[in-house]
Structure 1
Amino acid sequence: MEQRDPLVAVPRLDLEVKALLNAGRLAEANTLFDQVVSRTPPGADRWVRSAVLVNRAKLAWRLGRIPLALELAAEGWTDLDAEHADSPAAAQAMHALAYLLEGIGNRRAAVDMLRLSVQVARRANVPEVLGHCLQGLGGTLNFRAISSPPEAAPAIFAEARDHLREGLDLARDPRMRLALMGAYSRSLAGVGDLDAAERAATETLRQATEVGDKWALAVADWVLAVVHRDQDDLVEARTLASRAVAAAEAINDTSLLLRFSLDLADICARMNDPVGESAALRCSVAAGRTATETLQEGLAQALEQRRVAVQAQRLAVAAQEAAARDPLTGLANRLGLERAAAGLLESTAARGRVPWLVLVDVDWFKGVNDDAGHAAGDAALREIAQLLRRECRADDLVARWAGDEFVVLLGDAGGGGQDVGPTVAERIRAAVDGHDWTLVLGTIRRPTVSIGVAAGPAKLDQLFAAADMALYRAKRHGRNRVEVEPSAEIVTGG
């Protein structure tokens, strides 16, 4: 088996990847990660396997390899039964999962998971693992305190301080002590013990410089900047905060970069330095945009769906769920539509209602790709998917059929009225036609949609064929319009 550090579930090469990341050597970290990502320690029990997989998901996230991070996290979560866990490896897996939950913006779940990791680590009675989990909880609480109302912050900082101080008493590994000491110094500053905070941050800075740990350097410089800010030594505070921002950029840590740049902007504002404040805010906006784009890709929703699927029906069901969803838009894909359609159509028919299918095709989409580029084209498809969700109801099945073609199968809530399908279709057409496409596509021709609508037998292939004929007429008659295929069931009242 590979050699491991006191955190028993983490193989040595995985730790080397983390060390390279913390040193800002991203290319080397990526290369080494490719070599280790498919290796599982031989003979590992389910807890160790879970911890290894989720820790690798955390590394993949920091490397910007989001789909891989999601896949590893879902697989690692499979065997994680929090209610009965008493393994140190389980505590480590929960700690890493909390990091990912924080990254996708599920902040409350992240803190809950960290508290659970501490409970499991206490039951496991492995001091180094408990110290690791206390560091995660204390550091996260520091950030919660910073974003909390001023009257609530001191109590949160005090809780963080107590957790981190306990962790320092337990940890013997130098890297772990560095992380704990950096976070501890920030909680000391938060409760107003500036002298102690400065001593702890200065020692963190010294040790981090010796070992080349840019993550710890960034945290130490940040804490010292906060201390000097609170002491009204703004010139030194600005210098230290600038160093912290640069270090966070070097290690590709978006959450640190967002926090540090905001503090730098605050310091510059207090100094009446509009140029520095503007530069810091631009950095903050860029970091926030990165986080927002991640959320826009639907990772939070996808991870939650994958988690539920893995817990409920294990890997086989999770694989089926992933295969049925379009990764670009987050809608059901063709397979997902075909799987779900039968039940929806049967339910509609059983209630004596007529099923409707709406087939949507983007007009001149090749021109959008040619003029604005494929990235803009993908963004336009995501926008159209969002408009479809907005104009449809929760019971409607919305799917990306292929390329620039979408399908809406109206749910049972649609009722049996003769115009429900055309009404929904016209709402969709108008929403796309009236949408402001400037941010996505600039000044090029904005997209419109042609739509074919059909109602009739409770069979997907027949409905689709009829709607396709109507769509062909909509294209032939000038595009950006709705056409309805006549149905015997509708004409005769079903």
Structure 2
Amino acid sequence: MQHDDPLMAGHIPAQDREVRSLLDSGRFAEAEAAFAELIAAGANRVSEQWNRSAVLVHRASLAWRLKHIPIALELLAEGWTELDVDRPEGAAAAHTVSMLGYLLETIGHRGPALEMMALSVQLARDTDDSAALAHCLNREGNARIFRAATLPLEERGAQFALARDLFDESRMLTKPGQVKRSAMAGLARALVGVGDADAAERVAQEALALARAADDWFTSSVANWVLAVVRRQQHRLEEARTLASRALDAAETIRDTMLMMQFSLDLAGICEALADPVGEAAALRRTVSASRLAVDALREGLGQALEQRRVAVQAQRMALAAREAALRDPLTGLTNRLGLERRAPLLLEQTASAGRVPWLVLLDVDWFKDVNDRAGHPAGDVVLQEVAHLLRRECRADDLICRWAGDEFVVLLVGSSEDSREAGPVVAERIRAAVDDHDWRLVLGRITKPPTVSIGVAAGPANLEHLFAAADIALYRAKRAGRNRVEIDESPASDPSTTA
């Protein structure tokens, strides 16, 4: 998809812009691979040449669209913390506040979402930056259009009128490109909402033609939706059904759940009016599918959880800033051995005092020397980074993940919401399966067999030295028993039932 976004180019690194371009073009496999490179390099690492808060929030939006919800929430919380919310100013701040509002709207935390988008418009007006203002106007306009769909009929007109003015201003501010196309499609829908169907059709047709030429699926989707709404009002239901189907197909191509839910419901209504029960049932199934995607995302964290995480990130950053570099492994970004040794005593004490069982998971990459010998040390480094990524994915944010040395990793489980007496073996098996099931072909090709991990697990209460020694014995048993397996320390001190 063509990207002609001066604001983004000015405040967002090229690699981040490329991920968004791939997403907007519906090329999700390529977007996933490109985003994985960002994560491997450290998703929260931002060069000083960029506005940190803008980059972090933008990366949160990428992670959200790729369904990496925990990463999205962490990046969003950190980006929000970086922003000077008391005195925000400048184009980057306007863009950041606008994206924050969009993400809050997406996860259903609608209370402050619209307020943030309105604030971003005010900030952008103060900058005299037309590109920033156009972006912010579009986001607020889209939010008001979809908010109108949830209101009683008699209250929708006011929202559509506000959206019309926002989109019209955005359209006049920008040169031909993605931002203008999006503004035109949004304006067309707002015009339908205020009763000007003729103008809506004219603008929608123009936006659709421009979107097709630019491979702009978002604008194509909205423009087709607008035309479907117009045809339905004109009682040309066959045409309305065709246009609504095109709109829904495009929304599904870019996996925009808000569009998918609205368009599938409208398509079902058109099919019902046509006495087409088969089409209506198919549209409703697509509604359910889109709803399920949205619910799955919402389960990962609501607005209140985001607020709590933001506060936690801020406190953690203040406490660890002075020693962060010394406590991080530069290859994987994980805590290093020194960091584990410094943090473990307090974490173990807090876990035990809360009545939970602390677990130490020790894992070693099987046959790692063969990877280095056959594929080379750079490939071996990538394997370690991939293992680190899988550990982050399978563990909770409060768990302490460490690269101990070489190809050995340690996970100290202290934040599990599962039954803490079973958490160690459950998480260990999840990690083992994730590594075993991972597609290693992009890293290693067919040069060597795919890596696996052997894991030893031990439970407390105990100090780090005792836990590590017990897990190391279990790891040795796993290696001896054939590798790619989990072994649990069998000593009485490691029996969770003795810790009550």
TM-score range, shorter chain: 0.5 to 0.7
Residue 198 (structure 2) aligned to one of 173, 176, 195? 195
Residue 241 (structure 2) aligned to one of 238, 242, 246? 238
Q: Contact between 2:16 and 2:59, CA under 8 Å: does it hold in 1? A: yes
Matches within 5 A, 1:13-92: 13-36=15-38, 38=42, 42-44=47-49, 48-92=51-95
| Secondary structure of the corresponding residue to residue 172 of structure 1 | coil
TM-score (norm. length: structure 2): 0.63
Equivalent residue number for residue 97 of structure 2: 94
Matches within 5 A, 1:374-393: none
For 2:58, give the aligned amino acid: N
After TM superposition, the structure 1 stretch with the greater mean CA deviation from structure 2, 112-121 or 146-155, is: 112-121
For 1:129, give the aligned amino acid: A
Distance 1:9 1:280 in 2: 40
Equivalent residue number for residue 286 of structure 2: 283
Q: Contact between 1:309 and 1:317, CA under 8 Å: does it hold in 2? A: no
Distance 1:190 1:317 in 2: 52
Shift of 1:251: 0.9
Q: Contact between 1:78 and 1:315, CA under 8 Å: does it hold in 2? A: no
Residue 124 (structure 1) aligned to one of 127, 130, 148? 127
Distance 1:121 1:306 in 2: 28
Q: Mind listing any 5+ residue stretches in structure 2 that lack a counterpart?
A: 325-333, 335-344, 358-414, 425-492
Per-residue CA shift, 1:108-163, capped at 9, x if unaligned? 22111111111211222211101100000001100011111101000110011111
Tell me the matched-pair count: 350
Q: Contact between 1:5 and 1:11, CA under 8 Å: does it hold in 2? A: no
Q: 1:110 to 1:341 in 2, by over 3 A?
A: farther
Q: 1:52 to 1:107 in 2, by over 3 A?
A: same
Distance 1:92 1:59 in 2: 15
Shift of 1:470: 10
TM-score (norm. length: structure 1): 0.64
After TM superposition, the structure 1 stretch with the greater mean CA deviation from structure 2, 13-22 or 276-285, is: 13-22
Higher radius of gyration, 1 or 2: 1
Equivalent residue number for residue 150 of structure 1: 153
Equivalent residue number for residue 103 of structure 1: 106
Matched, 1:339 2:341: no
Equivalent residue number for residue 420 of structure 2: 402
For 2:6, give the aligned amino acid: D
Per-residue CA shift, 1:332-352, capped at 9, x if unaligned? xx987953875x8xxxxxxxx
Equivalent residue number for residue 462 of structure 2: none
Higher RCO (CA-CA < 8 Å; seq separation 6+):
2
Q: 1:162 to 1:4 in 2, by over 3 A?
A: closer
Shift of 1:100: 1.7
Distance 1:230 1:241 in 2: 13
Q: 1:104 to 1:211 in 2, by over 3 A?
A: same
Q: Mind listing any 5+ residue stretches in structure 1 that lack a counterpart?
A: 324-333, 345-356, 360-396, 407-463, 472-494
- Percent identical among aligned pairs is 47
Q: 1:470 to 1:32 in 2, by over 3 A?
A: closer
Q: Contact between 2:22 and 2:30, CA under 8 Å: does it hold in 1? A: yes
For 1:105, give the aligned amino acid: G
| Secondary structure of the corresponding residue to residue 246 of structure 1 | helix
Shift of 1:301: 4.4
For 1:138, give the aligned amino acid: G
Q: 1:316 to 1:206 in 2, by over 3 A?
A: farther
Structure 1's consecutive aligned runs of 4 or more residues displaced over 6 angstroms after TM superposition are: 334-337, 464-467
Q: 1:60 to 1:405 in 2, by over 3 A?
A: closer
Distance 1:156 1:234 in 2: 26
